[in-house]
A and B are shown apart, each in its own frame.
Chain A
Amino acid sequence: MPETEHSLIQRAQKGDHDAFEVLTEEHQRYVYNIALRVVKDENEALDLTQETFVRAWMALANFRGQSQLRTWLYRIVTNLCYNRLPNLRRSLNDLGNDVMEEIPDFDNPVREFESTETRKYLHQAIEHLEENYRLLIALRYQHELSYEEIASTLNLPLGTVKTGIFRAKEQLRRSLAHLEESWITN
């Protein structure tokens, strides 16, 4: 029977290296993806991921299980990203909180023939978003965190998180409109 994460954490807290190795193996890809979204450099993202797990090991005794281990690791990696990119924290704080209502998630299916090319284009547009928007988008959609979890992870007000995601989507909508215009003119 596979060991639960909770017991692995407890063993690692007592100093068991093997348990921490299993946890590192399990979570490193998610942490790496957060770092990669922000710094956009594979080697730097690997460095940040490694540093995250070393710091997690050092501070594991302070982890009281109030949040999931993965969200705790996200908090460490985003703090390391803040150190690496001092403007990131400021740009997140400067987002303000003018979007207070719920942002609806749309589940309308997209027809395959029109989505493939557009999806590729939008994926590129996501890559070209500013780092603060990339971080918010990655946490919300790649890592499926709730708005509240993102706010707690990044230590930001809930309204700021919603505003950031709303603005990122608006930027993507403008990119999409640009693509549609180019279709019409061609």
Chain B
Amino acid sequence: MDHKLKQNALIEDALKSQPLASMPRSITMDVMARIQKDARPSLFTWSDFMLGLVIASCVAALWFASQNLPPILLAKLRIQGILLYQDFLVNARWLIPVSMFGLAAFLAALTIPYLRRELLK
């Protein structure tokens, strides 16, 4: 047998024949004691619930307000909105794209904790 092949065979044999070490003691009891003590974290926390509630309330309040405002006020608001938008276009063209970019960056940053958790799994 060629010398290198023989070496390969010996190395392969040693690698494959390495036995699994036996455990000095079982850890099952320790694990069970710990998991009975520490509660499993819920997927949906109270802060998630509160945040959801606040956002839903804001959306509902805006919708109700828009439905119940007098039409003249709605028209005035619309005109003011258009004037503000045009003012931005004339005096601060950069503000709208920068705001959009900032909002996108903020939304992307919100995913960082989740992605980090996934990577560390």
Q: Is the CB of B38 within 8 A of A21?
A: no
Map CB proximity to B onto A1-37 as digits: 1 under 8 Å, 0 otherwise.
0000000000000010100110011001110110010
Map CB proximity to A onto B12-39 as digits: 1 under 8 Å, 0 otherwise.
1111111011111111101110111010
Nearest A residue to B34 via CB reads: A54
* Residues of chain B in range 8-66 having any CB-CB distance to chain A below 8 Å: 8-18, 20-28, 30-32, 34-36, 38, 40-41, 43
* A86 within 8 A of partner (CB): no
Please pick, from A76, A79, A110, A137, the residue contacting B10 in the complex, using a CB distance under 8 A: A110
Q: Is the CB of A49 within 8 A of B10?
A: no
Q: How many chain B residues touch A (Cβ–Cβ < 8 Å)?
A: 37
Q: Is the CB of B14 within 8 A of A118?
A: yes
Among B5, B35, B38, max chain A CB count under 10 A is at B35
Please pick, from B6, B21, B30, the residue contacting A32 in the complex, using a CB distance under 8 A: B21
* Residues of chain B in range 88-121 having any CB-CB distance to chain A below 8 Å: 119-121
Closest 7 CB pairs of A and B: A122-B14, A108-B9, A141-B15, A53-B31, A106-B8, A106-B12, A57-B35
Q: Which A residues form the contact surface with B (CB < 8 A)?
A: 15, 17, 20-21, 24-25, 28-30, 32-33, 36, 42, 46, 49-50, 53-54, 57-62, 72, 75-76, 79, 105-110, 114-115, 118-119, 122-123, 125-126, 137, 140-142, 155, 169, 172-173, 176-177
Q: Could you show 10 A-B contacts with beta carbons less than 8 Å apart? A: A25-B28, A46-B25, A50-B27, A50-B31, A54-B31, A57-B40, A72-B121, A106-B9, A108-B8, A141-B16
